[in-house]
Amino acid sequence: MRRINNKIEKEEKIEYTYKFMVKQTTELLEFLLSKMKTSRNNIKMLLKNHQVLVNGNSVSQFNYILAKEDEVSITKKPVLVNKKLMAKKEKNILDIIYEDENYIAINKPHGLLSVASDKSNISAYNLILDYVSQNEKNKRVFQIHRIDKETSGVLVFAKNPVIQSKLRNNWNDYVITREYVALVSGRLKEKSKRLIYNLKEDMNNMVYVSNDGDKSITNYTVIKENNNYSLLNVLIETGKKNQIRVVLKHIGNPVVGDEKYNNLDSPIKRLGLHASMLEFICPQTKKKITIKAKVPNSFYKLFEK
């Protein structure tokens, strides 16, 4: 296991003039020419001025390879390139827990975005992209999946756009195991159960149980418990947004530190959710890949006598 140490500082909110979603693999310049009513020279100037972002990361290479579901943005003002984001105040340590010719995986720390947002282009994706490109010029990574900002654990990126496309288009056909460890408030009456609920998202990005939502399947087993808290092994069969957090709250045992869903009980000063293992079949080699991320010690301390 290797570590990448990066110091990063807060950024101002970025303003955009255009945003485009990529539908198939192509080169950046050709994609922008097809989307914008402007000249090739104007687009090259935007690239040179660092006004073109791919998944929140500044790109100046005109033949940069885009993959399906990449987001390409044009900013009103130039933005800092990744190397200038390394700075003074906050230190992020990314653990590389798996790497081969097709994939790179990290144990994402809680509090770090999987991919960039409108509010920040500091993300696991950008930091890993910076690492990969430093080691191999013009190399990039491609998003396969994501986990919530507040959740820690296994996060995998592909190094090949064809593999990424196959995985994202047929994720449920290739994924074998999605395992989490959850620290929740209270004791559970049933120590092991399969929870099936339909989930829906409202206009405020809040997910809730609904009769007409999308089906979710969550399996839990109690690992440890005391009078106030329980530690659960959680296996999900579906990957809906905030799935584990919403269904556990619904049965009366919310994940600790989940401010979004109004659980202010925060004994470990963070969200009590960790993606501990991901197993999937590589669509290219057909081999099973198993990646594990060590559960933080803080999850166990509440159960020490």
Q: Say yes or no: 201 and 234 in one domain.
A: yes
Last residue of a domain, one of 30, 64, 80: 80
The H-or-E segment that residue 59 falls in is none
Q: Say yes or no: 208 and 283 in one domain.
A: yes
**d(Cα 82, Cα 112) in Å, to the nearest integer?**
15
Q: Say yes or no: 63 and 140 in one domain.
A: no
Host domain of residue 198: 171-301
Q: Say yes or no: 282 and 293 in one domain.
A: yes
Strands 273-281 and 152-158: parallel
Q: Say yes or no: 144 and 243 in one domain.
A: no
Last residue of a domain, one of 169, 198, 214: 169
The residue among 13 and 173 whose pLDDT is bigger is 173
The confidence score (pLDDT) of residue 279 equals 98
Which of 9-18, 131-140, 245-254 has the highest average model confidence (pLDDT)? 245-254
| CA-based nearest residue to 28, from 69, 55, 59 | 59
Q: Say yes or no: 129 and 196 in one domain.
A: no
CATH at residue 56: 3.10.290.10
Q: Say yes or no: 222 and 276 in one domain.
A: yes
The confidence score (pLDDT) of residue 201 equals 93
- Tens digit of pLDDT for each residue in 92-110? 557 899 999 999 999 999 9
Domain total for the chain? Answer: 3
The confidence score (pLDDT) of residue 136 equals 67
The residue among 218 and 7 whose pLDDT is bigger is 218
Last residue of a domain, one of 120, 154, 169: 169
Q: Say yes or no: 256 and 281 in one domain.
A: yes
Q: Say yes or no: 116 and 187 in one domain.
A: no
- Tens digit of pLDDT for each residue in 162-212? 999 899 889 989 999 999 999 999 999 999 999 999 999 999 889 999 999
Note the pTM of the prediction, 2 decimals.
0.77
| CA-based nearest residue to 270, from 204, 182, 155, 145 | 182
Could you tell me what percentage of the chain is helix, strand and coil, using 3-state DSSP and rounding each to the nearest 5? 20, 35, 45
- Tens digit of pLDDT for each residue in 17-37? 888 988 888 889 999 999 988
| Long-range Cβ pairs for the range 260-266 (8 Å, 24+) | 260/150, 260/206, 261/206, 263/185, 265/185
CATH at residue 175: 3.30.2350.10
